[in-house]
Amino acid sequence: MKNIAEFRIIGRVGKTEILDKVAYINIAANYGRKVSGQWDDDTHWNRVTVFGKAIERVAKLGRGDLIHVAGRVRQTSYERQGATTYGVDLIAEAFAVLAKFGRPAEDDQQDD
């Protein structure tokens, strides 16, 4: 049996950063929680890493677009000044635009 670590996020695009061979998407996902007896949105920001041909599609994303992203989780660690720093990377394997901010999504916006 294959061991896996994967994620799935449906949320709104905050900002994108496109570099030479990698792109990053900041995605806001909201969860409900009770505060003083009232339900409130608790927003969590997720930074997703995108490689390959999907980088071109990231360039077309706009702030507020609703997207669905699925991929794998990769743990990282590095040493700096004698201290080990740990992190988690969310690597996109597929994403689809569910709705453009203020207009419907195009049909060809899904990667496999």
84 is a domain residue: yes
Q: How confident is the model over 78-95, as a mean pLDDT?
A: 94
Instruction: Specify whether the CB–CB gap between 29 and 39 falls below 8 A.
Output: no
Report the CATH number that the domain containing residue 47 is assigned in CATH: 2.40.50.140
Whether 103 shows a pLDDT value over 80: the answer reads no
Report how many domains make up the chain: 1
Work out the number of other CB atoms within 10 angstroms of the CB of residue 84.
8
106 is a domain residue: no
58 is a domain residue: yes
101 is a domain residue: no
What residues contact 49, with CB distance under 8 A and at least 6 apart? Answer: 22, 23, 24, 89, 90, 91, 92
Instruction: Specify whether the CB–CB gap between 63 and 82 falls below 8 A.
Output: no
Q: What is the pLDDT of residues 65-77, one digit of tens each?
A: 999 999 999 999 9
What residues contact 82, with CB distance under 8 A and at least 6 apart? Answer: none
Question: Which domain does 77 fall in, by range?
Answer: 6-27+36-89
pTM of the predicted protein model = 0.81
13 is a domain residue: yes
Q: What is the pLDDT of residues 6-41, one digit of tens each?
A: 999 999 999 999 999 999 999 999 988 888 888 888
44 is a domain residue: yes
Q: Which of 106, 107, 110, 22 is nearest to 69 (CA)?
A: 110
98 is a domain residue: no
99 is a domain residue: no
